[in-house]
Structure formats: C-alpha cells, structure tokens
Structure 1
C-alpha cells in the first residue's frame, strides 16, 4: 500500500472510479507515485463509507494496515532526522574553525617557520616507493642552507627534522623555503611536502565553508590539515 496503483485498485474494489488519477497518470512524475498519510486517511475514510453493512471491514485487518502505515511513516521520519543529525555532525562551523587560530597546523606547503628551539620539522607524502628522498631548505632569497638526504623510503608519509644549522655551521632563523624530491631509480616519484605553519585567522568561502588563513601558505581548507600542534 505504497503506490498510486494500490490506491486505485483499492478504490476499484469498493466500486469507486478514480478519474482524477487516470487523467493525471501520464503527466505525474515518478516522485508523485507514493501514498502519503493524507492519502491513506482518505482511502480509509472511503473504505468505511462504502463498506457493506452486512459484511463490514474486519477491524483486525484495518488496525494491521494502520499499524503498518504508522511504522513506515515513523521509519521515514526517523531517517530524515538521522540524516539531519549526520549532516550537522559532518559539517564544521565557524566557531569550530576559530579554535585553530593561534595554533600551528601541518599542511601541504613550501614555507616553514623555525621552532622556538630552532630548526624545522615536517613530513613528505610519497605516492610510491623511492630509492632516494631529498629535502632542500633555502632562505627567503633562495640560497640553499641545507640538503637532507633521507635515503630509501617506502610509499606513505616520511618525517624529517632539521636543527637549523646550515652547511657552513651557522644557525638560520627563517622563514624557510622547503623543496622535496623523490626518485625510484631513474623515475620521479610524486612527493608532497608538508610543513608546520601558524594559523592567523578564519575566513568564510563563497560556499560558506570556513577556511584557515595560514602564514606563508594562504587559504587552507580544514580537510587539508593533516595535524594540529
């Protein structure tokens, strides 16, 4: 008892012709071919009005039909409620994003800032196995300060740490430009550099989703944040 055809057949068994349904059958869309609560009540009222007084509708059957419809309606309402809850839980509000302000986040980028103790650390996401992975650290003018060779690494995330000491033995302050590269034999392996950078503020994008304004990187979606420090 969930389609218009069921509604029509039931009316037909009562000797009632549903001309309106017949006229609208071609024009109606698939989304309208369902029996809602109002239709059910109309059907039940028509059934009671046209029942044979010598052979009335079985109360047990009618109650079973009402219970079945009530269950279906309840399940539909529950699904709608759960969908709304899931959407709310999956969404990130502006107030949630504001919690990032003043913290540092690990995200894709090439500009890194020195830690309080000096130097920087970061990570590299490798798309495949590599026989050699290099991290080149340069100053704001592009002068190379240090090159770290991480050697052979497996596909996945690789960490690196630099104490801030340059090849000449001096200590650099930053900010730094980080360049990563990976090769597997003679082939280049796709590598994404992840750096730690402070969050300055939060902004709302054109779609209404909050984004982070990260120093040295710019606008970063919350989904692109790998870690929070």
Structure 2
C-alpha cells in the first residue's frame, strides 16, 4: 500500500492493477485477430468448391475485426491517460491539505485559536472602510475600521469580539463598507478556508476539497491560496 492509498487517493499503478484484476475476473471471451484468421483458414479448407466463400465478405469481416481491435486499443490508451490524470490529481490534491484557499463567499471558519484570513477588493480605491463581523446566527460580533486602500487587500481577524474576548469556533461572515466616487458602497469581500481533506475525482466528477469547519469547494474553482 502506497502513501496515497492510505489517504484514499489512487496512483497509476493502483488504477492499472485494479483494471487488470477486473479484466481477469471477466476472462478472455473476445475473438482476437489470430483466432479469426485460424477460423478463416479452417473455413477456406472446408469450403464447397461449387460455392466458394465470397471474397468481399471476407474483406468486410476482416475490416470489422480491425475496427474492433482498434477501438479496444483506443480504450486501453484512454484508460492509461485517465490513470495518469488521476495520479496527477492525487499528487496535487494531497499537497493542498492544510492550505488556505480563497472562497467565493464572504464567510470563513474560525477554529478558536488561529487568525482567520479574508480578502477585500477595493478596486481603484476606497476610503473609510469598515468591516462588520457576524456569527452564524447573524449577531454582530465586532466592527473594525480598515481605513483607506485600493486593489486586493488580505486581512486577518484574530477571532476577538468588540470587548477583546475570543469568540467560540465556528463560521463567521464579513461585510465591508466604504466610500467610492463620493458614495457609500459595499466592498466585495472573500473568505478563506483551510483544506482538511480531499475527495478525488474520477475523470467525470471534479476533485473536491473538504474544508475545515464544513463546506466544500471544487478544485477547479480554486483561484487563489492564502
């Protein structure tokens, strides 16, 4: 058992071994080219001289056999490609465990100890920005003045309320307001989540990153890391 098997991920060797084991169970019930030529030779040996085998039929049958053989070979190539892609996803996904990924939401999980990261997009510039932090029930936990800024700004909340007390672990939401072009406006804000485990895709379904505190994000949706 490899290190990937122990965390539920597949490698090229394990995928190929599984495919070979399944093929062995089914047995070899297909007609190969050698078997077909042997049957054809036998048929020609015992054909009726007054009613010989039609050459066009033999050519058609041989062409069909070559087509089936080609499809089988293509299927094997696709299986090998899928195994390689799966292995690459396994290596990449396993390296994401413990990393922070940007979420398309204004919420983030506070584990009760470590500071929680979030990001704001102040665009060309915003002044007098303020972040309001609420818990899962919608109750206001803290308000913090952020001042002025522009572009993407990464920030950290230490998990304390307005009285300086550490709040319980859980999911918290961030709402940022400020002034742009002389008007009050909502500033886009995005939370970050810590990857706790990975559910590997199968070539059809995307690999899913399971986040600490609940929630998931597809690997293809990850745009930024903390």
Structure-1-length-normalised TM-score: 0.49
Q: TM-score, normalised by structure 2?
A: 0.49
